[in-house]
Structure 1
Amino acid sequence: MADMKQDEFYRRLEGIERKHKTLSGGYVRLEERNGILTPVQKVRPKRAFPWRGLFLVALAFILFKATLFAHLGPIGYIRNHAELEQGGVVERMGAWILRPDPVTIFIADKIDPVVNAFNFLDRDTIVDQETYLDR
């Protein structure tokens, strides 16, 4: 009987020490309704690899490539890509990253009307500015 009570005492003591150890890293004092102050452990977010951020960066880069492809057109894009492939080490790395892939071409085909509409608006404003400057 005494051994059982002693085992329970040491088990409770280990629990208190474990709780004290976890709270020593940082705690917030919380006053309950009955006036007792109880320490509460801070909730710290786990530092995991930011997969969502990496995915969003990759998605933004693919959209950038698709917009560039739609703006320049296939021939202009390939011409500029060939120039990059002939350059130095940094240019060749950029050419490797910017090479047209099926996803980029698919997205560029979908956003091509929108990009061409903006190109048309830009050309109109340039013409208007040139005629304004000629006066």
Structure 2
Amino acid sequence: MTKQQDMFDERYRKVLRRHRQLSRGYVTKMDKNGVVAHIPLNHIRESFNFSALLLPFGILFFLKACIVTILGEEAYVQQVDLLRDGGFVEQVGAIFMQLDPITAPLAKLLGAIIG
């Protein structure tokens, strides 16, 4: 009895999953065998996870704050100014490495924690 119930539960979960997919939108197409099939639409929010970007950006802001804490704010600004005077790639790097509203308070917090 348990095996039959497990097989039923598995089929039931597949039906529910398919229903959820089709409820977000579908396209009706005919297979090469002549069978009409409903194919779920792929939405960009399903294929691209924005929360996956938060971790790398959070790490970058944290590393930038660590550099500001170690060098000090004045020395860091001088280094960014040196980058601005360099070539194209260095100028682009200076844009990304400039102090921003997230890095400055985070650096002050790290400075208070580190001492």
Please give the range of the TM-score, normalised by the shorter of the 2 chains.
0.5 to 0.7
User: Superposition RMSD on alpha carbons, in Å?
Assistant: 3.1
CA pair 32-73 structure 1, distance change in 2 beyond 3 A = same
Could you list the per-position Cα deviations for residues 33-86 of structure 1 after superposition, in whole angstroms to 9, with x for gaps in the alignment?
Answer: 5xx889833969984321111111111111111111111101110111011111
Aligned residue for 1:101?
Answer: 100
1:102 shift after superposition = 2.1
1:83 — aligned with what? 82
Output the amino acid matched with 2:102: V
1:76-132 Cα distance to aligned partner (Å, 9 max, x none) = 10111011111111111110011101221111011113445xxxxxxxxxxxxxxxx
TM-score normalised by L of structure 1: 0.52
Normalising by structure 2, we get a TM-score of 0.59
Q: What is aligned with 1:57?
A: 56
* 1:84 and 1:91 in contact (8 A); partners too: yes
Give the partner amino acid of 2:4.
E
Runs of 4 or more above 2 Å deviation: 36-48, 113-116
Structure 1 residue runs of 5 or longer lacking an equivalent are 1-30, 117-135
Give the share of equivalent positions with the same residue, in percent. Answer: 24
Instruction: Give the structure with higher Rg (CA).
Output: 1
Q: Which runs of 5+ in 2 are unaligned?
A: 22-41
